[in-house]
Amino acid sequence: MSAINRIPYDWPNRQISRSITVGDLTWHVQISGKGPVILLLHGTGSSTHSWGELTPLLNQEAQVLSVDLPGHAFTLGASVDSLRLEQIASNLIALISELKMPWPTMVVGHSAGAPLALAFANQAPTKPQIIIGLNPSLIPPPPSYTQFFGPMLGPVTKSATLASILAKIAPLSGMTDRLLDSTNTNLPETNRNYYRRLFQSPEHVRGAMNFMASANIDQVLKAGSALPSQLIWVIGESDQWVPEIGLKKIISQYFPKSTVIYWPGGHIMHEVETAKTADLILSELRTIKK
């Protein structure tokens, strides 16, 4: 089934959704606007919906490309062995080449999307000028996440049966809401419902678990430290998923010349502070255009 046919009619920005097959993957992508390209990369367990309110603000000055990452939401065809950061980065490069789009001027990654942004930039033939990491997961997953999935982050993550069971019990057990509560983000009910719907999909659950289990952060950090891109990290002061102390140490060690910005808010604060996030991204984009 085409990815586009699986997208609910009330999904954010469905009118700009496309389905495109590259290799083994049938991607769900959303493209809008004109100007320099901004690539948006969501975090583990999320989808393009995370940028639903942000995209219309950005596409007034840029061409915005957001995707459902392999193993997530409505992108189909990912094997459980293909969810390493470097492999996904390679697949993203093949996708952009197939779309015949200019290489992104800026990459914005939330949570695990931030190290993926580094992996992408490491491989891209034209490096992005700016990378912005929103609550970047540059350290191992937090206890608040692994308390749900920790026992399953091993060979058992390959089990389709387990993923089906988790997807069935998620709405009954309140698992998804407890997970969202642990982010310390006051998400509106509409946003919460998107996550609830995603976690009722066995494919999405399986992909999210394997994406987290496959992350080789150290390798990406070492390669990313040599990037010429300007790096900006936005850290939520109430984020319990990515502890500030450990994150500051990593940033100081690998990216001493990067810019660090602190905002009040939890791990998914960009879905709440949409206008503020757009202002930051566009203000940085304008410095390039000058």
- Model pLDDT for residues 155-203, shown as the tens digit of each residue: 444 445 454 445 455 554 577 888 899 899 999 999 999 999 998 888 8
Q: Show Cβ contacts of residue 83 under 8 Å, excluding neighbours closer than 6 positions.
A: 70, 71, 207, 210, 211, 214
The Cα–Cα gap between 213 and 223 comes to 20
pTM across the whole model: 0.92
Q: Where are the domains of the chain?
A: 17-289
Extract the residue ranges of the chain whose pLDDT is less than 50.
144, 146, 150-159, 161, 163-165, 167, 172
Give, as one character, the DSSP assignment of residue 147: H
The CATH superfamily holding the domain 17-289 is Alpha/Beta hydrolase fold, catalytic domain (3.40.50.1820)
Q: Residue 211's closest CA among 78, 37, 122?
A: 78
Q: Element (H or E) spanning 194, and its range?
A: helix 189-198
